[in-house]
Structure 1
């Protein structure tokens, strides 16, 4: 860490003991890839041992039962119908799976927003280039004053040719919670299918996928749920399951079995896997829910409050107007840095190399503006954001 006159010494919370972080690093970027606590990693190791001790027995006699149990516990946690839920390695795979399974034509419009995650927007571009479908972009302002602005901007772009809407639940670059339940209800009434990129939602928000009622919903478990890397899910309404095929076609495509749905037979086996990340999801749900007396509801509230208080602290210290109301963020918060730091990569480099602060600085829109995104997980402490504020002030002086 750089030797400076800064007075604040950043501290992790007492819960830091359960993670493997380098204590010299101020890690404020849980939203990027998540972070898996040691007890959950230990559970994953036990599953790997079980697999390797008798591989044939594991895959042939134990695997489906273990997978079904993990699926049911995850379905209970996210408010899904377990018969509509399959595991995928990450939400990007979930988005690819749906978009590359569906059929589009030159007459179709695929609607999304300017806040859509780049990887998923790339999938949309890929599919459109092959099918001739037209991509329509709803421009959601940022800063934004209310959820109603999001609804109005999106619905204004809906037409009689809109075939599918791809929308974030929580945006990656801007950290906004989109009012997807209201949006989906309006679109469903118009006969338009919805694909929700819920990469950040599980573990950040209390989910009820049956109430949200998206046609397709995919979410990561390795981020805010803190499961091991390679754990995510895809939920597909039952009447649409015959349309959706895994990216890898395997034995399930012509299986004679009638005791399981074709949906499960195809997605549950796409070649020999390491399913330990999927099987460890119940342990992540259990462990993270045990950290505070109020369980998951208290954890979600605690992380949200830390994000709200931290962005308020940073906005006041470095003179930034808050870009949205508190109720539009979860446990990530984004602050526009304006044009003071046009070179966002240079600022990222300085924060990491000179101060060992891990926080993303990203371009926005025309790349003449930068956004800073902070994450708040139970292992973080307000002093870390105070330290970040002091460092930013010091860097401002030297601009």
Structure 2
């Protein structure tokens, strides 16, 4: 059912608490962590359930006759949204799966180098280490500072590590721990000048940034739809440039092997495709609310919330505002910044996270990075500024037992 001012009251009340009921979030939760797993609206989950019922009504007919066309239609809709040709885009379960598909498809020799950044996602870094351990290739990590003065420091960090032995560069579009938007076009150009193929981990970018994947210049791009595109969990995509498709395979080889890029990825055995097929409902949800209206609301709220927390915690901005989207990573109060071993840092992060949730019903990630603890806030349509005020109060009033 399309949204209207009469039925949903968007024109009268705007976003924030007025539309919170469109999600199934716990009523008492102050949910400031859309960035980790997303949160699908009820109507998108209903669409997913409808696809499941259709599947179970006649599984053989659905899998054999209905699914191939339905999956390609859904892929075409998503491709249009991210500026891609449908034949170059396939579904995967998450961005980590997309990275694995690429890394495990490529051939590396002893001494080859895989370039990536210290702010990359942990699961991606683990995959790189696994591949290097099996092939004798070398992981080479760009040391990008945080706090950071500007995008030129990202470019300089990669310039310092790219070499004639670099066989692949893995670039984040938006980083997970630090929420930075990298200068991706400049980084891709840097790699292109050196003849280095590029895999982009765009886990957070779809929905936050307008994408034109066909014009980006990357070889591979993987992104999640379950975060900022409101799709159900398990909905992500892998875009592959035509010249790289013959050597790119899913991590599970099945009946589609040798039948072409989309055929290989579209069928890797029996699985539930409902999250992928529900992307149509998720994109409709976005279009009815307005893509630019959503982006403007979320980015503005993030800036307001970030400034509120910085002022209350008496901290300086760790990153320029124009390098942020819908998330921001901020330093915790000074009492938390004493150095400690990495293992203890992770334990303390979990302790603080659990305290904020169990005591204040605030869901927000506490991130150990660079020898200290950070809090990463997200801004989504159901959020409003008073929620970040509650987070500021909770951080200001930490019990003495939390002091390092």
TM-score strictly above 0.5? yes
Report whether the alignment pairs 1:53 with 2:51. no
Equivalent residue for 1:355, pick from 346, 356, 360? 360
Report whether the alignment pairs 1:212 with 2:207. no
SS of residue paired to 1:21: coil
Q: Deviations over 1:7-61 (max 9, x none)?
A: xxxx952121100011111110000100000010111111111111122221121
What is the rounded CA distance, in whole Å, between the counterparts of 2:217 and 2:284 in structure 1?
26
Report whether the alignment pairs 1:157 with 2:152. no
Q: What residue is the counterpart of 2:277 in the other structure?
A: 279
Report whether the alignment pairs 1:223 with 2:222. no
What is the rounded CA distance, in whole Å, between the counterparts of 2:298 and 2:305 in structure 1?
10
User: Number of residue pairs matched?
Assistant: 378
Q: What residue is the counterpart of 2:10 in the other structure?
A: none
Kept in 1: contact 2:313–2:332 (CA 8 A): no
Q: Deviations over 1:141-180 (max 9, x none)?
A: 1011111111111112111111101121100000000011
Aligned-residue Cα RMSD (Å) equals 1.5
Q: Unpaired runs of 5+ in structure 1?
A: 1-10, 256-261
Q: What residue is the counterpart of 2:187 in the other structure?
A: 183
SS of residue paired to 1:115: coil
What is the rounded CA distance, in whole Å, between the counterparts of 2:336 and 2:286 in structure 1?
37
Q: What residue is the counterpart of 2:318 in the other structure?
A: 323
Q: What residue is the counterpart of 2:302 in the other structure?
A: 307
Report whether the alignment pairs 1:16 with 2:23. no
Q: Unpaired runs of 5+ in structure 2?
A: 1-14, 338-347
User: How far did 1:397 drift?
Assistant: 7.2
User: How far did 1:242 drift?
Assistant: 1.0
Kept in 2: contact 1:12–1:384 (CA 8 A): no
Q: Deviations over 1:314-366 (max 9, x none)?
A: 00011111111111000001102265226322211210111111001111123
What is the rounded CA distance, in whole Å, between the counterparts of 1:315 and 1:338 in structure 2?
10
**Change beyond 3 A, Cα 1:338–1:153:** farther
Q: What residue is the counterpart of 2:369 in the other structure?
A: 364
Kept in 1: contact 2:16–2:381 (CA 8 A): no
Q: What residue is the counterpart of 1:4 in the other structure?
A: none
Equivalent residue for 2:390, pick from 387, 392, 396? 387
What is the rounded CA distance, in whole Å, between the counterparts of 2:198 and 2:159 in structure 1?
13
What is the rounded CA distance, in whole Å, between the counterparts of 2:190 and 2:145 in structure 1?
21
Q: TM-score, structure 2 length as denominator?
A: 0.91
Q: What residue is the counterpart of 1:65 in the other structure?
A: 69
What is the rounded CA distance, in whole Å, between the counterparts of 2:261 and 2:215 in structure 1?
22
Q: What residue is the counterpart of 1:123 in the other structure?
A: 127
What is the rounded CA distance, in whole Å, between the counterparts of 1:353 and 1:12 in structure 2?
23
